[in-house]
Amino acid sequence: MVKVFVIDDHYILLDGFNQLFDPETDDICVVGASTSVEEAIRLIPSLKVDVIILDLFIKMTDPVLNINSINKSLPGIPVLVLSGEVSLEWQLKMFRGGAKAYVSKEDNKDVLKGYILLVADGQSVIPDEILLQIKGKQKTFQKTSLDIQERELILSLVNGFTIKEIAERGNKSISLMEKTLRKARLKYNAQTTNELISILFHRKEIF
């Protein structure tokens, strides 16, 4: 179960988060919320939080100072930034500040859920153009790559097996296979499995 803490200065959105995820089916539970970073920093240590969701713009505060304060006070707890502002400028500022993912408020529940699970699993979801900026436009940055489970799953799909067949062959649950595939799509910002396979083919990562 992934425990999430939400920081947002809109009470309606805070209430919405409590109803958005079902712990039984989504494996995500909102264990706390706050309208201020200062209060969140006081509350989070006792809640065993796995992921912090931070609204980019909180009234009367500086977004960069907010994420810096969280990372300094709560090191080791990943921060996912949520905002209606999706410009590369703000994404860059947040990733430089230590954010592990940046999600648009226009994205649906499944996208947000996927990012939360990915970040909770220790992954960072950083677009290539942002990585280039962070690394000073150097070409030697660490690229996104598949882990062993993701690679084996995708190769099986390419070879014509269904998710159900792959799960049965590996004595694993279908939900675990779907979660693994979703994580792989998120890594490459692919909307569909076919798009993911196409990206991997052109990058020569699995063929």
Strand 2-7 vs strand 79-83: parallel, antiparallel, or unpaired? unpaired
Residue-wise pLDDT for 28-63, tens only, equals 999 999 999 999 999 999 999 999 999 999 888 899
The torsion angles phi and psi of 34, rounded to 5 degrees, stand at: -155, 155
- Model confidence at 134: pLDDT above 60: yes
Task: Return the higher-pLDDT residue of 200 and 93.
Answer: 93
What is the share, in percent, of the chain residues with pLDDT greater than 90?
36
How many Å apart are CA 181 and CA 169, to the nearest integer? Answer: 16
Domain boundaries along the sequence of the chain: 2-134, 148-202
* The pair of three-digit structure tokens given for residue 164, joined into one six-digit string: 């159900």
CB 97 within 8 A of CB 80: no
> What pLDDT does residue 43 have?
96
CATH topology of domain 2-134: Rossmann fold (3.40.50)
- Model confidence at 133: pLDDT above 90: no
pTM of the entire predicted model: 0.66
- Model confidence at 138: pLDDT above 50: no
For residue 98, what pLDDT band results from cuts at 50, 70 and 90?
very high
- Model confidence at 191: pLDDT above 70: yes
CB 116 within 8 A of CB 28: yes
Question: What CATH number has the domain spanning 148-202?
Answer: 1.10.10
- Model confidence at 124: pLDDT above 70: yes
For residue 144, what pLDDT band results from cuts at 50, 70 and 90?
low
